Each structure stands twice: as C-alpha cells, then as structure tokens.
Amino acid sequence: MYERRREFWLNYFRGDSKFALPNAVIHGDVAKVRQLLTSGTDINKIEDVPWSSDQYGTPLHVAIWCNQIDIFELLIIEGADFNIVDEGSEGRPPDTPIRLAVRLGRRAMFTRLWNAGAERKKYPSDWGQGRSLIEVAASEGRADILTDLLSWNQSWTHAEQLQALTAACRQWFPDSVAALMDKCSFSKKELEDSMHMAVTGEPTYHDREWITVHERLLTLEEDSLRQEGILIMLLDEWDRVAGADGVADEPSQLLDRLLLVVSISLFSIAALRLLLERGADPNALNKSTPLHRALGRNFRVLKQCNEAGVEALLKYGARVGIKNDKGETAMDIAKKNGDTRMMERLMQHIKDVERAEEA
C-alpha cells in the first residue's frame, strides 16, 4: 500500500516546477535540495495534489516516505519543523514526521526524531485523542520500534498499551504481541478480548491496499501460523494470570467460544487445531456446533466449506448427528449445499464410528 503511493509520487512530481523541492527529495538530490533551500523555498510547505485525496506533508514527511536518509538529515539540520501534522490520506490518519517514521518502519529516522525531542503525542487540533506511537507501531507490525518505545519510555498509559495489543491481535502481528507481552501486564478479561480480536481479525498486507480471497490462499499457511502464534501467547499468559492466586481457572468455556468463531474460516486452520489440542469441545453448541459452521458455504467466491476444519473436528470427536437451532444435522447442511464430497465424507465417518463402537 505505502510503496504504491511512493511510485505515484515519482510519476506525478517528475518535471513539475511547482514541486521542485519534493521532487528533489524523492530522488535524493542533496545538491538540489540545498540550492532550493538557499533560494528561499519553504522548508515546511505541505504539498497538496489538488485532484488527489492524498496529502503528502512537508519535505520532511516526503523524505521519510521515500526513505531518503541523507535528505532527511539535511532537512533537520536546516531547521525543518519536525512536529507539523500532515493532512493524512485515505486509510491513513494525519501524521507527524515521527509517527510517520513509526508507521513506515523507518527505525533510524524514528530514533533521530526521538532523540531530537520530537513531540510524541502531537495530533490535529480537532482530534479528541489520537493513536499513540505504540499503537501505530503495533498495528503496522513494527516490533523493533515497538520494543524501543516500550523500553525508552515507561509512561505509556495502560489504555495505550491495551489499544496497542488490540491492534496487533486484530491484524495478526505476533512479534508486536510478543513485545507487548514482554513489557506490559494485562488482565484475564483484557486477554480474552484480545483473543477475540485475533480470531475475528485478519492479516494486514503492506504491499497492497486490498487483497482478493484467491490471493489470500497463496499465503494461507503463513497467515494461519501468525494467528496461531498470537493465540498461543495469549492463552499461555491467560493461564499464568488465572493461576497467579494458586488456583488456575478452567479455560474450557473460553476455548469453546473461540472454536465456534475460527471453525468458520479456512484461513484459521492452525488456530482451530490449537484450540482442539488445548481441550476445546468440538461439540460445543451455541445455536450450532463448530462442525455445522465449518460445513457452511462461508466463502461464496470460493464456493467451498472449511474442509480442513471439518477433518480436524471429526478427528477430535465431532458428532455428525447433533442438531442446530434449526433442527439440522451436519449431514443436512452438506445436503443443503449440494456438497456430495462432504456428504460422502460424513457418511464414511459415521461408518467408522459405528465399526469402532462394535469392536
């Protein structure tokens, strides 16, 4: 997503004298930048492309966008204001240079601005409150910067820490979750809410503004493991917090609730198997069972059920004959969908169970 915008600038600014300074910044032309600043070009002008919803900020913002570290340093030395808030753009809130550096993972630039005394909580005047730097780092998967922020400053509020955890869980960034779990403490309820975010969220892709279901299938295994890794950390911490008083709580209801959610998604197969291994009930009933949900045509584009989920649930003892709140069994769902493959699989499972009981 961010790289595509940089390419847009390269094409738009090229050869336009109105954008001489940002054009020089984009191309890393140190001599040209010096010349323009010496001739009186405004070092803090916010560039605005009239027919575009994107607002590109000051030359310092542009240097961060395009990762031009030499230009970035020159602008700071020449007195660039590093606390100006840009106008934001579609899908991106307004940013100061330091927040933009965090968002884009420019660690050296972020460190330079931090050490130079950049404001850490500068937001537009019409904002009641903004996203903290740790939330931005967590939501963008910038775990190295997040670790720096948590180590260098102990004054982050618990609300900011929780917002950061929520963002990292919702967008499946396990390294960000690990950094927060290492430095912060959360209650059982907060951990449970974070698990819910992890099972209902989906991964973020920095190289694309949106992604099709078919494209997601190409990274299904990798993404599924990201979600599983987050759940492992949260469940382990939940167990630790629950047992801190010497009496560990029973996690079965929590596991059952999570299983009912992940059973729908073929993109959550690793999480589904993890929950079953941890003791989630494959026959937990809340209007329907996980097996009912896995058999549903939940991905209309693909026109298929969560077949891998069905197999895992059957392996862990899911019963085919349980009825949902509409009186339908798993076989009824497969028949309704015209899924002969699943009908045959369920029938074979029924026969296997009967043979095992007779043995």
The predicted structure's pLDDT at residue 130: 63
Domain count, the chain: 3
Pseudo-torsion of CA 9, 14, 18, 24, nearest 10°?
80
Cβ–Cβ < 8 Å for 54, 5: yes
Residue-number span of the structural domain to which 290 is assigned: 250-359
Per-residue pLDDT of the chain (359 residues; tens, 9 = 90+): 455 555 655 665 555 667 889 889 988 999 999 999 999 999 999 876 654 545 578 999 999 999 999 999 999 999 999 999 988 777 788 899 999 999 999 999 999 999 999 998 887 766 655 689 999 999 999 999 999 999 999 899 999 999 999 999 999 999 999 999 999 999 999 999 999 999 998 887 655 555 666 676 667 788 899 999 999 999 999 999 988 766 656 778 999 999 999 999 888 999 999 999 999 999 999 999 999 999 987 654 566 789 999 999 999 999 999 999 999 999 999 999 888 999 999 999 999 998 888 87
The predicted structure's pLDDT at residue 298: 64
The predicted structure's pLDDT at residue 213: 66
pTM for this entry: 0.89
Residues 31 and 125 in one domain: yes
Task: Answer with the one of 226, 247, 268 that is the final residue of a domain.
Answer: 247
Q: Which two tokens stand for residue 44?
A: 């803090």
Residues 222 and 290 in one domain: no
Residues 117 and 201 in one domain: no
Residues 259 and 355 in one domain: yes
Start-to-end CA distance of the chain, whole Å, equals: 59
**For residue range 296-338, what is the model confidence (pLDDT) as tens digits?**
876 545 667 899 999 999 999 999 999 999 999 999 999 998 8
Residues 260 and 357 in one domain: yes
Beta bridge partners of 89: 92
The predicted structure's pLDDT at residue 219: 72
Domain CATH for 339: 1.25.40.20
Residues 261 and 359 in one domain: yes
Longest dimension (CA), the chain: 93
Tokens 């008083």 belong to which residue? 245
Residues 324 and 230 in one domain: no
The predicted structure's pLDDT at residue 10: 60
Sign of CA dihedral 330, 281, 301, 270: negative
Tokens 């469940």 belong to which residue? 235
Q: How far is CA 24 from CA 31, 77, 81, 180, in A?
A: 9, 17, 18, 39
Residues 150 and 238 in one domain: yes
Residues 169 and 119 in one domain: no
Residues 204 and 146 in one domain: yes
Task: Answer with the one of 99, 130, 161 that is the final residue of a domain.
Answer: 130
Task: Answer with the one of 222, 247, 272 that is the final residue of a domain.
Answer: 247
Q: Which two tokens stand for residue 342?
A: 């699943």
The predicted structure's pLDDT at residue 51: 46
Residues 173 and 289 in one domain: no
Residues 217 and 263 in one domain: no
